[in-house]
Amino acid sequence: MPSLPKNPAARAALTVVVGAVVAGVVVAGVLPAYWVFLATSLLVSAIALQSLGLVTGRAGMIALCQMSFAGVGAWVVGALNVAQFPGGLAVWVLAGGIAAVPFGVAIGLPALRLRGINLAIVTLGFAAAFDSVLSTISFPGQTKFLAVPRPEAFDSDAGYFVFVLIWYTAIAVALELIARSRLGTGWLALRHSERAAAAHGISIPRAKLSAFAISAFVAGISGGLLAGFLGTLVSDNFNMIQSMVLFAVATMAGAQFAEGALIGGLLIVIFPEILRRLGLAQDIGNVVFAIGATQALSTGESMSEALRRNLRKLVSRRARASGARATAPRRPRPAGHRCRAGRPCPGLAAQWARLP
């Protein structure tokens, strides 16, 4: 059985995630319906961010077509709904994730030869091509207004929030376990240096293709969950701009970590809501996300990495303070110290007896 992370900061981050899950289950029955709607949107965005954090944050490859993978998953869920395929939304979402895997592998093939900006251009080209396809064909059930049904046990808004929360938690735990496996170690080595990774016996093609495949699988799941969340979808939900915004937020928040994906989902959902309440254009949020991503790239530290660094400092400071208190010598009692009974201590009484 895998042990908990030995790093205090990682333990603290894991505690934050578990606390968020517990708080989410409780809050689902407390918040008003509109805020439950926003919280569900936050979790769906966090799952999409986790998929991008895998290929970009862990493996170090640029992908600007993540919402296209999500669109594949959503399209498959809509098609299975129209066909009345048995199993319900849980099975359809899983099928949507699996259907996105071949597209992820197809994008991963150019990554075997390309890196950096060249790979980014290829993935952006795929996103543009997917936009053209979606503008030609509509989502299944869209013209007939056939909404994707939610599971019976999670039919309400609060219930569907819990349903998405289960998916988020399962994906976060699975990605954490993979990150600590040999495959995850290969991704980390690939991020730092392909030549060094190859010198250590790591298969570069296997590392790249697996990163894109698993990333597309998770993105497809997020698209399927979005289909169940909104009922009906349009092509604008998965256009090229959405993929670029997702990349900026993932870079800014550090979506390779579970808490970073939550922070990114919070930014995607809450920031436009604040702008709406202030009467400002919601496109301002995209500008802020771009500035935040530029700042993270220039400093080499995302929001989640800064959070972990500060947690490490806090834990280390408290450990040093606790050790200093444990090793400090006890101060001697003053000469006039009295016992608990209110009487002079024996040592002080002996001194009085010797007085003339």
Q: Which residues pair with 344 in a beta bridge?
A: 338
Question: What pLDDT score was predicted for residue 353?
Answer: 47
Instruction: Report the C-alpha gap between 37 and 31 in whole angstroms.
Output: 10
Distance CA 188, CA 216 (A): 19
φ, ψ (nearest 5 deg) of residue 344: -60, 145
pLDDT at 139: 81
238 in Cβ contact with 223 (< 8 Å): yes
Q: Which residues contact 28 (CB under 8 A, 6 or more apart)?
A: 36, 39, 158, 159, 161, 162, 165
Q: What is the pLDDT of residue 300?
A: 81
pLDDT score recorded for residue 5: 54
SS3 344: strand
Domain map of the chain by residue range? Answer: 12-301
Report pLDDT for 324.
Answer: 65
The angle formed by the CA atoms of residues 126, 57 and 238, to the nearest 5 degrees, is 35
Give which of 123, 77, 78 is closest to 103, Cα–Cα. 123
Tokens of 216: 């597309």
- Contact present, 239 and 223 (Cβ < 8 Å): no
Sign of torsion, CA 183 174 267 235? positive
What is the reported pLDDT for 144? 75
At residue 348, the pLDDT reads 44
Cβ 211 vs Cβ 187: under 8 Å: yes
Per-residue pLDDT tens, the chain, 356 aa: give them.
445 555 544 564 566 567 666 767 776 777 788 888 999 999 999 999 999 999 988 888 888 999 999 999 999 999 999 888 888 899 999 999 999 999 999 988 888 888 888 888 999 999 999 888 888 887 887 777 788 888 888 888 888 998 999 899 889 888 888 888 888 888 888 888 888 888 888 888 888 899 999 999 999 999 999 999 988 888 788 888 899 999 999 999 988 888 889 999 999 998 888 888 888 887 888 888 989 888 888 888 888 888 888 888 888 887 777 766 666 565 555 555 555 555 555 544 444 344 44
Model pTM?
0.82
- The pLDDT value recorded for residue 75 is 92
Angle at 320 between CA 319 and CA 326, to 5 degrees: 90
Domain 12-301 in CATH 2.70.98: no
